Amino acid sequence: MDHPVDRSLPNAPVSTTREQLPTVIAASPTTRWRLLLKELSAFGVVGAACLVLDLGLFQLLYGHLGVGAVTAKLASTLVSMTVAYVAHRYWSFAHRQRTGVGREYLLFAAVNGVTLLLGLAVVAVVRYPFGQDAAPVLQVANIGSIGLGTVIRYLGYRRWVFPAARPVTGSGALPAPAPGGGTTP
């Protein structure tokens, strides 16, 4: 189902659909900046809300319901990641091309998995090869890995999970999808 484009975009005609958005964006640098600001703002709000959800759900499951720590962490992560996917799909990156929930969620989980492994690697390197075991030092490494992971997630979501809409051809029609998800010229 086509959803109309966010009406907060200046210069967007009332009848603009997601498929027509590339021509609107190409016409106005101001629109591109506003769209980027909207994307970054929504990304931050969703991330903060899902962090609170993850922490709260873990505390509820582990601290109050007696679920094991690893099981509680798995459940809280899966729930917060799913909420983040839905919020990003329908808010942060709503103006971008839809490529199918299954494909998007799989790539979303893969990007999150890569950044999780990166975070684990950063903390492990600081702890073991560097021999640091002080909590403040490890927390600085953890915060640094979260910051790096956040940048990688944002760029990964934009590039692979929620790609930019395909360019409109000269006739105004969208290029046909090619086998394997690409587009034909």
DSSP string, 30-60: HHHHHHHHHHHHHHHHHHHHHHHHHHHHHII
Q: What is d(CA 65, CA 76) in angstroms, rounded to the nearest whole number? A: 13
Looking at residue 55, its pLDDT comes to 93
Report the phi/psi class of residue 66: left, alpha or beta, with left for phi > 0 and alpha for psi in -120 to 50: left
Q: What is the largest CA-CA distance in the chain?
A: 63
CB 171 within 8 A of CB 180: no
Q: What is d(CA 10, CA 3) in angstroms, rounded to the nearest whole number? A: 17
pTM: 0.72
Helix (H, G, I), strand (E, B) or coil at 68: coil
DSSP string, 82-131: HHHHHHIIIIITTTSPP--HHHHHHHHHHHHHHHHHHHHHHHHHHHTTS-
Looking at residue 14, its pLDDT comes to 43
Looking at residue 116, its pLDDT comes to 92
**How would you write the pLDDT of the chain (185 residues) with one tens digit per residue?**
444 444 444 444 444 455 545 544 455 888 889 999 999 999 999 999 999 999 999 999 999 999 999 899 999 999 999 999 999 999 999 999 999 999 999 999 999 999 999 988 999 999 999 999 999 999 899 899 999 999 999 999 999 999 988 765 555 555 555 555 554 44
Looking at residue 106, its pLDDT comes to 97
Looking at residue 165, its pLDDT comes to 80
Q: Which of 113, 97, 116 is nearest to 160 (CA)?
A: 97
Q: What is d(CA 169, CA 167) in angstroms, rounded to the nearest whole number? A: 6
CB 103 within 8 A of CB 89: no
Q: Where along the chain do its domains lie?
A: 12-95, 97-166
Helix (H, G, I), strand (E, B) or coil at 133: coil
